[in-house]
Amino acid sequence: MCGIVGFAGWQCDRDTSEALLTRMCGAIAHRGPDGEGHHVAPGVALGMRRLSIIDVSGGMQPIANEDGSITVVFNGEIYNHNEIRSGLVASGHRFATRSDTETIVHLYEDKGADCVRDLRGMFGIALWDSRRRSLLLARDRLGIKPLYYWITNEGLAFSSELRAFLALDHFPRVIDRLSLARFLSLGYVPDPMCIFRDVKKLPPGHFLTWDAEGGARVQRYWSPVREEDSALDEVTAVEELERRLMDAVGSHLESEVPLGAFLSGGIDSSTVVACMARKMDRPVQTFSIGFEEAGYNEAPDAALVAKALRTEHTEFIVRPEADRLIEDVVRVFDEPFADSSALPTLLVSQLARDRVTVSLSGDGGDELFGGYLRYTEMESRVELRPAMLRRTTGAVARALPHSALGRNRLLDLSRRREGRYVSAMATPLTTADGGFARPDLAADGGHFEDLFAPHFLEAAERDFPTQMMLTDIMSYLPGDILTKVDRTTMATSLEARVPLLDHELVEFAVSVPSRLKIRDGSGKWLLKRAIANLVPAQVLTKPKKGFSLPLAQWFRGELRHRVDSLLRPDARIYEFVDPTAVLRLVREHRSGRRDHSPSIWRLMTLEIWLDLLNRGELAQPSPGHLDIAVRNS
């Protein structure tokens, strides 16, 4: 696991290139505390920070092929590298290390950019081919690892995190208004967009090739959309899923450093830990945290599972000084990011990092197996027909005051099913629809219901629950969930692995009909059947509970002054949001009439992020080890 940076085409002498690489690597030092490596040659500079996991003594990057004509820096893990290595050795390639990184350069020699199709794992790759004078960037299929690129007049720069660009004096810190509008709607900036103009994220399942003559060309090499296996019967599906779960988790266990797992006591994390317990010859080290507010404390559930699976369990009840931790959490993300579960994820990452260097996580189970309530709720809702009736209902709803009972229900009825999905996932921009963007930004932000249209179109041949799952896999999963996991774990120099997102498991899961995932208004039917003999019975009946914070109470109590700061006339957010709308949100929340804590958190994180950007602090490495008060439960 590493962080990578670099550039191609920039007209720099060697000393300047080394200095720029040093600054860029320094900004992402938290991603790789075990070493730094550079490769500088005419037309290119590659840099990396290393967190040593495989071939600890010999796998330092950059790594080149036999004659030095191809050089790679790499962030991630290739889980089938031993299999690939055997084939390459048989065909005459010579290896100098045992690292998974070296398989990439030799595989590229044989297959060019298509080599990424053979890789099973999570990765952000930058490879320089000196013979063709071309750069290859590639990102894994699901977007587990990040990769930004910045196109300039001279060439192209790349980095695992945006802060490496912010560390450069000549980087233009111009906010992209459409991306900011998307953040206000979604709480994150979706791929391929970036909060800064001229920078993009390489989307999941894509690679980019660049050379001086042709510039940058982006190509998709993988999509999660698959045909439904309508003939799949229940018995076969259960057996196949259990086999694939064991295979995926087993492939993720290679490590030369201590390895453990996050455990919440829910279905997904319990599945991963149960498979680990079957595969490992020693007890699994598991980690969980809890809060003193009973409604938000999953620690007892995790403890029950840990006892049943005989893990070495570490549990803490965390008493975070929320006001002090908010800035640290915002600082971890180099773009505005408003999933409040980032705070407990950062805390459990720190807890795990005190004992292990690698931790497996259960992320992805909801999107693959129908775990979110929206999949069942939206499928069962009545859709008004014809379209004229929907338009009339919408007009009536918008004419009502924001606080009117039934307004949101009428708006929901006025939308088609895809629109209802959008309303569940996003906040409208316009104040007329309950949003809080300034009119000019709302106009820049495009049509609300078009946010996910390309994903629904790509999945149009599947039924509606599956369309929602596939849309989540292509948008919410990489944009929110995996961004949160990558940044919070890497901020503490911890590698997170997500075996449920092994692409071979994903391809099977998305081919499974929704009738085997959702039954009697409940999701994860197939997954529950597959793990019934692996996990304690209470895991299968536990109500779904997110990894969330008591924000509603905090904003009326200990964080009230933070909310007050949003009402200052000089608040930075008012370049983008409407003061009257913000005041309405705050008043309704404080009165107890509505719970606007997600929107308030979104505005609060944006205000802090803008302030950190103005002070130049986002160009610094993540805060690393947090000074938090914890006590053993």
Q: By the 8 A CB rule, do 190 and 182 touch?
A: yes
From residue 368, give the alpha-carbon distance in Å to each of 103, 265, 373, 387, 530: 30, 19, 13, 32, 14
From the list 268, 185, 223, 263, the residue with the least C-alpha distance to 480 is 185
CA angle 218, 221, 224 (to 5 degrees): 120
From the list 335, 336, 340, the residue with the least C-alpha distance to 554 is 340
* Rounded Cα gap, residues 72 and 78, in angstroms: 14
Cβ-in-10-Å burial (0-12, 13-18, 19+) of 42 comes to exposed
Query: Which of 2, 25, 115, 275 does the annotation list as catalytic?
Result: 2
Lookup: tokens for 366: 């909801």
* Rounded Cα gap, residues 452 and 416, in angstroms: 13
From the list 587, 582, 590, 586, the residue with the least C-alpha distance to 557 is 590
From the list 203, 7, 210, the residue with the least C-alpha distance to 124 is 203
Cβ-in-10-Å burial (0-12, 13-18, 19+) of 553 comes to middle
Q: By the 8 A CB rule, do 393 and 410 touch?
A: yes
Looking up tokens 């899961």 gives 509
* Rounded Cα gap, residues 129 and 108, in angstroms: 9
* Rounded Cα gap, residues 597 and 603, in angstroms: 10
How big is the chain by its Cα radius of gyration, in Å?
24
From residue 355, give the alpha-carbon distance in Å to each of 107, 157, 305: 35, 35, 20
Active site residue 194: no
Cβ-in-10-Å burial (0-12, 13-18, 19+) of 157 comes to buried
- Residues noted as catalytic: 2
